[in-house]
Structure 1
Amino acid sequence: MPQPELYEAAMRHALSLAANGPVTGGNPQVGCVLLSPEGEIVAEGWHRGAGTAHAEVDALSKVADARGLTAVVTLEPCNHHGRTGPCSVALIEAGVARVVYAVDDPGRASAGGAEHLRNAGVETVQGVLKDEAETFLEKWLTATRRGTPWVTLKWAASLDGRSAAADGSSQWITGTAARQRVHEQRAEADAILVGTGTVIADDPSLTARGDAGEFLEHQPLPVVIGERPVPENAKLRQRGYVAAGTRDLDLVLRDLFGRGIRRAYVEGGPTLASALIAAGRVDEYLVYIAPKLIGGPRTAVGDLGLPSIGDAIDLTFTAVESLGDDILITARPATPAKE
């Protein structure tokens, strides 16, 4: 029987395979490695997006006979019929002898694969490299466990915290390198959220584009939060969007999760940003700081309802990056976002 060290090495390879899959689309990035009884890799696979073969099935398709093999999978094999059949059943029917996985599937419909495998006589080993897999799948796992998307809040500001000049002008606070990074981050999100005030004031297209202005492969779904209608001549009407029709953030986020949104990128103005922060709904902050002083009343974040310094929301910096003359600060709440 293979040793735990072999399982860990195979799991680490499976995690590297999983990274080949798309981060968007609602499904997790999953990798799978098939080991022979001697511990050699005989096949591998990963999930390429919604509607395609899951990692286990992808790997199984590459062997003529899987009887007696060990499947090493980054996530518990699913146990439900979606666009594809349950992976637990595929593994059982293939005759796999053992399944090793890192993290339990938290999905209400998809969980239970390990139990189904055990009931069919397949040995299961769980928790191998669990911490590494939890970190790799953090955004998807967090969203799935609580039923609302992972929320990333972005803003750009001057060194003194202003998002616009007194006359409302804000283009461009940051330089080209920072603005291009924003487009890349948009392409890694399922949805991009703004308030109706931003749509009315700025008429954004909310697209993800490359250096030459070309559309990137993935375009996030624009979501407009608020009660006011989107203007008839707005650019968003040319590409499609979701109008929330409400300011109820809990309702909006639950609805987005039901639409398959797992990663939400927020680019609204200070009103939406402040509402999300005050409601404890932000999982990650991306703050672009430009070496400018603007002054005036237009701050990047508005009133959070915090009466004193003792009530301040504590954050933890996780990264600081230079982008041309600007810097990007990534931060997380010291206390995790609201469940």
Structure 2
Amino acid sequence: MVIKEIFMKRAIQIATNGLGNTYPNPLVGCVIEKNGLIISEGWHYKCGEEHAEAKAINKIKDNSLFIKSTLYVTLEPCTHIGKTPPCVDLIIKKKIPTVIIGSKDPFIKNGIGIKKLKRYGIKVIENYLYDKCRIINKRFFTFYEKKRPFIILKWAQSYDGFMALNKKKWISNIYSRQLVHKWRSEENSILIGRKTVLIDNPKLNIRKWYGKNPIRIILDRKLSIPNNYNIFDGLQNTIVFTEKNVSEKKKKIEFIKICFDKTILEQILFFLSKKKIQSIIVEGGKKTLDSFIKSNIWDECRIFISDTVFNNGLNAPVINKKIILQEKIDNDTLIIKSF
């Protein structure tokens, strides 16, 4: 048997097809190979549907094809019974002789899925292309290992490093703004502060893309945002953190009382982790972004840099971390940094 990167890379590639749909489950891709050819593949479409391994296995009707085959999967096969049966049991039933696993599942204690496969005589190779398999599930791993959501900071700035104060003036171009809506569809929630709401009156939805709207998270210490603003339209789930007691009930709006002190981020993240929210995009404003940066509580930042020069304005946040991606989007430059 020869292990080939191309098969795991294909599993990784198809796993990302589920981005934005599988929550709370991870992204998983599976490829079944025999004699150097892919005989089946599958990925997890969304929560409640078949897992990647089951999709790939169940496409094969001739059980003799599993003889001398190799199953590549990006994440350790599941052992628990939930909305779908355990994938480990299906692999054992089909007598697949070799399983190549990209990374262990932090949700499965002590690698019992891997141990069970080995107990039934299946050859298991672990942590194959581990870093690549892990990065596609950065939200899932962060949530279970750090007990908080994966945090993405996002903003746009001028070429000379300023953020706009004029709400009628866009910094980024239309293509960048559409990309932001795509990003929103991929994450569980989106967070902004009170000033940004009052200045922009944003909807924080994905009207320029398709998929699921994120949960809106608003910081409003004194509850000073008027009721006629878009965040109170009742069209998507919204959480408002405040120091006020609120007895009033509004459609799809949840008011959470916290202390607006130096522990505010810890309080917010603790609550969101209890709600099983695995990811957040923080879109501003500057004070809110800076609070995450100064506390070193973030995982990734995405910055759009326009070719426009402002000469003055509000200084954009500064993060001195490594650039993991830089690309042009028409006249904008997108820079992504990792903590």
Give 1:272 shift: 0.9
2:178 is paired with a residue whose SS is helix
Instruction: Give 3-state SS (helix, strand or coil) of 1:48's partner.
Output: coil
| Partner-residue secondary structure (3-state), 2:162 | coil
Which of residues 216, 228, 231 in structure 1 aligns to 2:226? 231
Name the amino acid aligned to 1:140: F
Other structure's SS at 1:153 match: strand
Instruction: Using the TM superposition, name which of 100-109 and 48-57 deviates more.
Output: 100-109
- Alignment of structure 1 residues 21-170 onto 2, 5 Å: 21-24=18-21, 25-36=23-34, 38=35, 40-64=37-61, 65=63, 68=67, 69-107=69-107, 111-165=111-165, 169=167
The 8 Å contact of residues 23 and 29 in structure 1, kept in 2 or not, is answered as no
Contact kept, 8 Å, 1:164 with 1:170, in 2: the verdict is no
Q: Report if aligned partners of 2:31, 2:73 keep a CA contact under 8 Å in 1.
A: yes
Secondary structure in 2 matching 1:112: helix
1:322 partner letter: K
Contact 2:149 2:277 (8 Å CA) reproduced: yes
CA contact (8 A) 1:79 1:109 kept: no
The residue identity in structure 2 corresponding to 1:202 is: D
Q: Is the contact between residue 107 and residue 144 of structure 2 (CA under 8 Å) also seen in structure 1? A: yes
2:200 equivalent among 190, 199, 202? 202
Identical columns (%): 30
- Work out the number of aligned pairs and report it: 312
Aligned with residue 213 of structure 2, among 195, 210, 219: 219
Q: How far is 1:108 from its partner?
A: 5.0
Question: How many Å separate the matches in 2 of 1:88 and 1:316?
Answer: 39
Bigger mean CA deviation after superposition, 261-270 or 319-328? 319-328
Residue identity opposite 1:22 in structure 2: L
Q: Which residue of 2 aligns with 1:305?
A: none
**Secondary structure at 2:32's aligned position in 1?**
strand
Contact 2:78-2:108 within 8 A present in 1 as well: no
DSSP 3-state at the match of 1:328:
strand
* Equivalent in the alignment of 1:306: none
In the TM superposition, what whole-angstrom CA distance separates every residue of 1:117-173 from its partner, at most 9, and x where no partner exists? 2233333221222233234434433343222222111112223433234xx546323
CA distance in structure 2 between the aligned counterparts of 1:267 and 1:182, rounded to whole angstroms = 10
Q: Deviations over 1:80-100 (max 9, x none)?
A: 233323221222233333322
3-state secondary structure, aligned to 1:19: helix
Separation of aligned partners in 1, 2:335 and 2:14: 29
Considering only aligned residues, what root-mean-square deviation do their CA atoms show, in Å? 2.7
How do 1:294-305 residues align onto structure 2 when only pairs under 5 Å count? 294-296=311-313, 298-301=314-317
Indicate how the Cα distance of structure 1 residues 112 and 257 shifts in structure 2: closer, same or farther if over 3 A, else same: farther
Q: Does 1:250 align with 2:245?
A: no
TM-score by length of 2: 0.81
Other structure's SS at 1:251 match: helix
* Counterpart residue identity of residue 320, structure 2: D
Residue in 2 that maps onto 1:9: 6
Q: Distance in 1 between matches of 2:10 and 2:279?
A: 25
CA contact (8 A) 1:70 1:98 kept: yes
How far apart in 1 are the matches of 2:293 and 2:168? 22
1:187 is aligned to 2:185: yes
Output the CA distance in 1 between the equivalents of 2:292 and 2:221. 16
